[in-house]
Amino acid sequence: MNVSPTPAVTRLWAEIDRQADAVVGTIADLVRIPSLLGDEAPVQVYVADHLRQTGLATESWDLDDTILGQPNAGNSGIPFAGRPNVAGVLAGSGGGRSLILNGHIDVVSPEPVSAWTRDPWGAEIVGNRMYGRGAYDMKAGVALNLMLPRLLRDAGIGLNGDLIVQSVIEEECTGNGALDMSLRFPADACIVTEPTGGSLTQAHVGVLWFRVAISGVSWHAMQAWKGVNAITKAVPIIQALERLDAELNAQPVHPAFAGINHPINLNIGVIHGGDWPSTVPGACELHCRLSMYPGQSVAGTRAAIERAISRAAMADEWLREHPPVITYDGFGSAGSEVSMDEPAIRLLGAWHQLVAGTEMMPRSGTGINDMRYFNFQGIPSGCYGPGGALAHAADEWLDLDTIVPTAKALGAFLLDWCGAN
Ligand SMILES: [Zn+2]
């Protein structure tokens, strides 16, 4: 597919060049407002104000608890009140295709902060890098979503189709914010502006969080043999989970993940057990994360976990009588994929090629992201955004050199997709 700049695209690109500092300023504003799980309100106020000032019909609302009953919902355990989703609609004049630009506003904890050499909330710029928690994942993407309609306005360009800008909560632990959006706003395509460094996330795994509670019997350690040590009873369960990880990686590889090393990952991320060196621990709990290929179900993955743990328990005299209790929290969602031949993806790829001079390469994510909910609703969706590194790590940074090219590719694509007037 070949594309070439129309007068509207040329005007928008000139506006992007003219206001490049304002785009970076918006990213910095967002980074300086911390937005950890449960504390998303202040930054969402900024987002809603920004959309309103541009002139979009803007709404903020708290998620309803009924979302928890939807397929592929998760449960963070944090009440929804006071942590709104935000959307702004730039209504087109008619006759064009609609587009969602989606981004998550939540960030993961910067802890341990002592590992950072910069202020995680400082948005400090050194050379072509902006440092900060969320600078890369993904406040840069949210800022692009906010600024594109403003740049269109300032360049005097109207759209034929609707543009819907969405800023969602809970991407990092459940996806409920995007799930809610996917049920509210129909559209012809959706781009999630996660930081992909100019590649297109075309497939990604599903993710399931689960907990395994193992019980023992507390006793004074001077007669430890009279108790049952819940920590040592967790060992065969941990070994069974390691075997499950190996088995899942021995299954036929989903074609989108061919060549990726160890695509399925079962992580035992948290262990709680015992509280005193001289007491036999009476309880131990594991918090785990397991991924699955697109097309595999949450129910099927839960069944595989339950089978593996039950087999291990049956081989142990104590665990046979006191089976570990499995519960599910956080993520509980299947993965998804979008065809590189989808018209929206092909068109974005063509504009990326023109701007960047390189092909928009497909990538498959071994982590989860919000694009899935739009694909589940029949709205073709992939991730495309700026570059940088160290997401979820100390000294996370955004490559500022990628901001203007990403804005130009996305902007030209949206003009082409929605139609300009
Ligand atoms: Zn992200």
**Does some domain include residue 2?**
no
Distance from Cα 222 to the centre of ligand 1, integer Å: 50
Encode pLDDT of 30-80 as tens digits.
999 999 999 999 999 999 999 999 999 999 999 999 999 999 999 999 999
**Does some domain include residue 302?**
yes
185 lies in the same domain as 297: no
Query: What's the CATH code of the domain at 300?
Result: 3.30.70.360
| Model confidence at 126: pLDDT above 90 | yes
Structure tokens at 400: 């500022």
Whose structure tokens read 């902060």? Answer: 113
Protein residues placing their CB within 5 Å of the ion ligand 1: 137-138, 194
Distance from Cα 371 to the centre of ligand 1, integer Å: 11
Distance from Cα 171 to the centre of ligand 1, integer Å: 7
d(CA 10, CA 129): 27
386 lies in the same domain as 411: yes
Encode pLDDT of 100-122 as tens digits.
999 999 999 999 999 999 999 99
Q: For 242-253, what is the mean pLDDT?
A: 97
**Does some domain include residue 101?**
yes
Phi and psi at 118, nearest 5°, equal -130, 165
Percent of the chain with pLDDT over 90: 99
Distance from Cα 30 to the centre of ligand 1, integer Å: 14
**Does some domain include residue 251?**
yes
Q: Band of the pLDDT at 280, cuts 50, 70, 90? A: very high
Distance from Cα 364 to the centre of ligand 1, integer Å: 14
Distance from Cα 87 to the centre of ligand 1, integer Å: 18
118 lies in the same domain as 227: no
Q: Which of 300, 333, 366 delimits the end of a domain? A: 333
- Mean pLDDT (the chain) is 97
d(CA 112, CA 394): 8
346 lies in the same domain as 277: no
HEC sequence for the chain: CCCCCCHHHHHHHHHHHHCHHHHHHHHHHHHCCCCCCCCCHHHHHHHHHHHHHHCCEEEEECCCHHHHHCCCCCECCCCCCCCCEEEEEECCCCCCCCEEEEEECCCCCCCCHHHCCCCCCCCCEECCEEECCCHHHHHHHHHHHHHHHHHHHHCCCCECCCEEEEEECCCCCCCHHHHHHHHHCCCCCEEECCCCCCCEEEEECEEEEEEEEEECECEEHHHHHHCECHHHHHHHHHHHHHHHHHHHHHCCCCHHHCCCCCCCCEEEEEEEECCCCCEECCEEEEEEEEEECCCCCHHHHHHHHHHHHHHHHHCCHHHHHCCCEEEEEEEEECCEECCCCCHHHHHHHHHHHHHHCCCCCEEEECCCCCHHHHHHCCCCEEECCCCEECCCCCCCEEEHHHHHHHHHHHHHHHHHHHCEC
Q: Band of the pLDDT at 182, cuts 50, 70, 90? A: very high
Domain with 265, as residue range(s), is: 206-333
Distance from Cα 307 to the centre of ligand 1, integer Å: 32
355 lies in the same domain as 239: no
d(CA 220, CA 165): 60
Distance from Cα 283 to the centre of ligand 1, integer Å: 35
Distance from Cα 194 to the centre of ligand 1, integer Å: 5
Distance from Cα 126 to the centre of ligand 1, integer Å: 23
**Does some domain include residue 169?**
yes
259 lies in the same domain as 373: no
Distance from Cα 108 to the centre of ligand 1, integer Å: 9
Encode pLDDT of 250-261 as tens digits.
999 999 999 999
* Omega within 30 of 0 (cis) for the link into 263: no
Distance from Cα 243 to the centre of ligand 1, integer Å: 30
- Residues near 267 by beta carbon (within 8 Å), at least 6 away in sequence: 288, 289, 290
Distance from Cα 161 to the centre of ligand 1, integer Å: 27
Q: Which of 333, 362, 378 delimits the end of a domain? A: 333
19 lies in the same domain as 164: yes
Q: Band of the pLDDT at 288, cuts 50, 70, 90? A: very high
Q: Is 250 exposed, middle or buried (0-12, 13-18, 19+ CB in 10 A)?
A: exposed
Query: What's the CATH code of the domain at 398?
Result: 3.40.630.10
287 lies in the same domain as 400: no
Domain count, the chain: 2
| Model pLDDT, residue 289 | 97
Q: Which of 333, 353, 380 delimits the end of a domain? A: 333
Distance from Cα 247 to the centre of ligand 1, integer Å: 29
**Does some domain include residue 307?**
yes
**Does some domain include residue 1?**
no
Distance from Cα 383 to the centre of ligand 1, integer Å: 10
15 lies in the same domain as 119: yes
Half-sphere exposure of 279 (CA within 13 A, CB side): 10
195 lies in the same domain as 262: no
Q: For 200-208, what is the mean pLDDT?
A: 97
319 lies in the same domain as 391: no
Q: For 321-328, what is the mean pLDDT?
A: 98
Q: Band of the pLDDT at 1, cuts 50, 70, 90? A: confident
Distance from Cα 369 to the centre of ligand 1, integer Å: 7
Distance from Cα 291 to the centre of ligand 1, integer Å: 17
**Does some domain include residue 364?**
yes
Distances (CA, A) of 342 to 74, 272, 348, 380: 28, 46, 10, 7
Distances (CA, A) of 374 to 132, 199, 202, 299, 404: 29, 19, 13, 20, 26
| Model confidence at 193: pLDDT above 90 | yes
Distance from Cα 281 to the centre of ligand 1, integer Å: 38
Whose structure tokens read 């129309």? Answer: 6
Distance from Cα 239 to the centre of ligand 1, integer Å: 31
Distance from Cα 385 to the centre of ligand 1, integer Å: 10
Distance from Cα 141 to the centre of ligand 1, integer Å: 9
Q: Band of the pLDDT at 392, cuts 50, 70, 90? A: very high
Distance from Cα 137 to the centre of ligand 1, integer Å: 5
138 lies in the same domain as 17: yes
Phi and psi at 40, nearest 5°, equal -90, -10
